[in-house]
């Protein structure tokens, strides 16, 4: 779905199974997606927007279907709606809006949807780095629209 949406907005898309990772199995495939909108300097390092699409287990206490994506009173209720489907959707549509506005960026803009963030990121962002998709040569900066609050912009990342 993410790859289809990126393609619809003109990105070149790679679907990248996390082969070689223990987390990636036939029963539970771990598949990442990267879309690239080329800039004026197509080979320049990209601005990379990343979001994960895995979630932690549902847990107790839900009063609505956690996988129902119910909209009520102007709010979307569902597992992962905030962490971090909304941030990933914002990244996809921000890149699309730049393109739709006719703006040619100097650097390419990449958007990735990755797996496994909630359990360490080894089959997700780490796999992209191990395979050179994210690297000093290919990537100028990474923006992760993870929900920290409406007034927080952080440099760096905690955790693995």
Q: How many residues does the chain have?
A: 160
Other CB atoms within a 10 A radius of the CB of residue 84 amount to: 24
> Known catalytic residue: 110?
no
**Residue 80 falls in which region: left (phi positive, over 0), alpha (psi -120 to 50) or beta:** left
Question: Which of 5, 110, 117, 151 does the annotation list as catalytic?
Answer: 117
Question: Which of 54, 83, 118, 146 does the annotation list as catalytic?
Answer: 54
Helices (H), the chain: 2-8, 87-100, 125-130
> Known catalytic residue: 117?
yes
Lookup: tokens for 124: 């997700």
**What residues are labeled active site?**
54, 117
């Amino acid at each position: 779905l993410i790859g289809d949406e990126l393609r619809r907005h003109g990105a070149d898309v790679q679907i990248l199974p996390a082969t070689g990772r223990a987390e990636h199995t036939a029963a539970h495939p771990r598949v990442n997606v990267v879309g690239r909108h080329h800039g004026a300097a197509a080979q320049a390092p990209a601005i990379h927007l990343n979001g994960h699409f895995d979630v932690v287990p549902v847990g107790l206490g839900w009063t609505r279907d956690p996988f129902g994506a119910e909209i009520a009173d102007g709010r979307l209720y569902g597992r992962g709606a905030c962490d971090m489907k909304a941030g990933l959707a914002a990244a996809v549509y921000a890149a699309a809006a730049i393109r739709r506005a006719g703006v040619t960026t100097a650097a390419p803009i990449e958007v990735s949807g990755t797996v496994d963030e909630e359990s360490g990121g080894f089959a997700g962002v780490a796999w992209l780095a191990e395979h050179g998709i994210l690297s000093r040569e290919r990537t100028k900066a990474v923006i992760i629209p993870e929900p920290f609050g409406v007034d927080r912009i952080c440099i760096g990342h905690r955790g693995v």
